[in-house]
Structure 1
Amino acid sequence: METPIRTQLRSLAEPEYQKFAASLIPNITNVLGVRLPAIRKIAKQIASGDWRTYLDMAEDEYFEEVMLQAMVIGHVQADLEELLTRIATFVPKIDNWSVCDSFCAGLKYTKLHPEAMWNFIQPYLKSDQEYEIRFGVVMLLNFYLDKPYIYEVLPLLDQIKHEAYYVKMAVAWAISMAYVRQPEVTMPYLQHNTLDDFTYNKALQKITESHRVTPEDKQRIRGMKRKAKKQVQTLKQITS
């Protein structure tokens, strides 16, 4: 028997929107076609009621069911320990960029607990799982690009060497946003880093696409593009 939540989501599904939404997230095939504002409205209703029972019993078969959980966690009110537990339980369910990015953007209570949340996301940045790393990176770009954190964010991004596409794109996005927010801190990093060519050039591209960057700065950034593969020397420990 279908749950009331799934029935509600099915009733809101739009066939034409389903095709569009599915095309944006090529690595999943479980999209019903419900628009995000409609999911957000349901999430707010759940968060104002018995949200704990909902999260404990929630189903994960469809993209929208996972997205709904992400949004509910962003809207609930609870103590920090419980919030962190709920976040940690949810992160393994992330299997696409859309859920990841919406989830991170919704965790606005990070602003109330910046140091605790900073410590919480550090292990995800060192993970070997694509979307765990992306979760950590997108949290950085959403909440930690101001001083003093920016001085720690850039070295952390430089240490991420995972080959997954959605990790590289997240790192490039974060670096571009760092430049937009803190150009005087980020420019020296762009001039001296160990990013792979794809991530580095993508970061430059995203900077030049920003309306908040001056034409003069965009011209300078374009001139920094790597035209040939950069050879990065790494220190290797030699044991006898």
Structure 2
Amino acid sequence: MRHTENDLRDLLTERAEGQDGAPAHLDTILRRGRRIRRTRRAVTAGAAALAVAALAVIGLPLRPEGAPVAQQPVDSAHVEPPPGPEIPATFEVRLGAEQFDLPLIHSERFDTVGPGRSVTFSPTSTSTGYKVVCEDPRAWVVTAHPLKGGERGGAAARCGRGLGGQHDHLSVPAGWLERPQSLQVWVFPSDAPVLEVAQAVKGCRRAGRETGCDESALPSTLLDPKVRKRLEAEVGERPGRWAVAIYDRPASSG
């Protein structure tokens, strides 16, 4: 630290007053200035050492490389969403006295409900089965697939614990094992206006009744392509997770 002209002038004045006007010697002034500088440096160094010690005591890093762990932003790329509804590993089949399990050969997951989906797979036998599972057990599920003779088969119901079906050699269409096959699936939200749409499209009358409609009559109305198309337009596309699983015997089992 360098002293200014004012510092030297003050020192000369102080010296003169303390010695009854005797002139101050240059050597004395220089020694006094050096002593003041040494004292100030010692005080500054001591304050810095105390600050470092205080930081060490409270456990803070002297040169932090980044924010504390608690302040680090969450990296959304590493947060994986839940996998959705569980897909069973096997499909239980009961044909009279015969009972066996079909292993899983293909599955697909979806994150929205409303639009129809087509799931394509390659069957390995004539015993192909399928199952649809939903995050919301109250969601409506409709399936459609080809049958022998050019007919169309399928099912409709609340999803519950899963909606499924299974082929055998009497139901599969011609050329079943010769090319990939497909299963159409619609999953509608639980609050979809199925009743209103069914009444608007076809009246929604239960068998044996002239008027009236309740939930027991709704599954059969959902098998009507016109009802499904109208319902798709009413519902649109909404968030909702579900999955389709395809099961089959090994090809050698027939």
Give the TM-score range, shorter chain: under 0.3
Q: Which has the larger radius of gyration?
A: 2
- Calculate the TM-score normalised by the size of structure 1: 0.22
Instruction: Identify, as 1 or 2, the structure richer in helix.
Output: 1
